Amino acid sequence: MIFTSFEFVAFFATVALIRSCLRSFTAEKWLVLAVSIGFYLSWSIPCVFLILFTSLADYSIGRKMGQTPEPISRRRLLVLSLVINLGLLGFFKYSNFLLENVWFVLGALGVHFQQPHYNVILPPGISFYTFASISYVIDVYYERIPVCQSARDYTLFITFFPKVLSGPIVRAGEFLPQLKERARVSVKDIEIGLTYFLMGAVKKLVVADRIAGHVSIIFSAPIKYDGLTLLTGLLGYTAQIYCDFAGYSDMAIGCARILGFQFPENFQMPFSAVTITEFWRRWHITMSRWFRDYLFLPLEIATRANPNATLRVSVNMMVTMLLCGLWHGPSWNFVIWGGIHGAALTAHKVWTVWNPLAVVKNRPLYRPLWNLFSRLLTLTTVVLAMIFFRAQSFSDATSYLIRLMSWAHGGSRLISPYIVAALVAVLSVDLLAVKNRNLALEVPQMTLAPRILIYAGLLMALVLVGASDPVTFIYFQF
């Protein structure tokens, strides 16, 4: 079941209705846990044992850590959790990628064996629930949050169905406190949740799914198309992945809100960012915070003896983004994508420290002109990096990039009206609206007339323009 299917709508409506009839918070939690496991079973029956093992293993390690004051023993428990979580993630997601690269190196050295390849099933959502579980154990280790005393509550935290497959990466400190007391869901909460879900569905079905076909055609054979077509295909994919993932996040937030749970925001108009650093504060926010808090900052602490702060931050930032790229998938293309963003973040850090334009910053035209240039540079970096994120292989990515940068004239021209309309819609919202606004929270606060008009407009867009054959969410593959 995907969020944009009628099956999910019926499933969720049934869950919400049954939940509203329950008088016990304990019964409510057992219900949500049961339907979360059932939701995961609809995607993979064998892999449900893996997510339950991860949940119970880290719950037990957390309990033991809370009962162990001795630092060495606590550190061993932390290491055990990391070995279990990263070991499972590495095996299921990266084993074939690792073997391919080992055999490539051996072949380059003149050593030739028959290369093994294992049909390892990638468990749905493993990257997301593994990161959530790791964050819990680390936070317990550093005593940032209390130990969870209920195996049911912790398993519910890991398996909660709105977020299990594709985030947002909700932390234990954000979710587990909501299981202590029953939240009374008000009519306003339901309206806010429905607004999130409706806006997310529009992003997904009206924008992302409508342009997915033409984007795939262009990326499947870039050698066939001219430079303008390649540019529209690349811009189209940037809009597609944004509306696809932001749409999923909005629907997940909306579902959780209707059931009485609050999730953090995951996207906040990222294309309004003036710098690449600001972009990462607005794009996939929960993942950005995770890598900052659990990888970048520990690297900063571990290398604090380095007297050159700029060099230290730059190296740690590059390492963080390379691993962020690898987290997205077992491919060098993702590593290169992460490297591009790491280099851009590093360049921005060096620029802010160097600050060569300090002498002209108080001149009248400096701020608007610099903001325009910086915004264009940020968008160009983000868009060009998407070539490596979308292309199926390194050779396809380089072919696409070379033909685009040389503005190839040979080849067919395909200008999709869906892509053009999507770009106008996305850029109009992100560049013209106030960047820190949250429309899903603002609309329910309006008077009745504008609310009805907005809801009617969104529903009409879904009915008249929405894709009739929903496409699976892009981030499910990660």
Question: pLDDT tens across 10-30, in order?
Answer: 999 999 999 999 989 999 999
240-258 average pLDDT score: 96
pLDDT (mean) for 285-313: 94
**What is the rounded distance in angstroms from the CA atom of residue 291 to the CA atom of residue 317?**
10
pLDDT digits (tens, 9 = 90+) for 416-466: 999 999 999 998 888 777 788 888 999 999 999 999 999 999 999 999 988
Position 296 pLDDT exceeds 80: yes
**Predicted confidence (pLDDT) at residue 358 exceeds the cutoff of 80:** no
Q: How does residue 39 score in pLDDT terms, banded at 50, 70 and 90?
A: very high
pLDDT of residue 106: 80
Choosing from 284, 328, 341, 348, the catalytic residue is: 328
pLDDT of 99 over the 90 cut: no
Instruction: Using the predicted structure, report yes or no on whether residue 409 has a pLDDT greater than 80.
Output: yes
pLDDT at 368: 86
- Report the predicted TM-score, pTM, of the whole model to 2 decimal places: 0.94
Q: Report residue 307's pLDDT band, with 50, 70 and 90 as the boundaries.
A: confident
pLDDT tens per residue, range 109-148: 887 777 776 788 889 999 999 999 999 999 999 999 999 9
* Catalytic site includes residue 328: yes
CA distances from 208 to 7, 157, 198 (A): 20, 29, 14
CA distances from 173 to 137, 263, 329 (A): 11, 11, 27
Which pLDDT score is estimated for 109?
A: 80
Q: How confident is the model at residue 357 (pLDDT cuts 50, 70, 90)?
A: confident
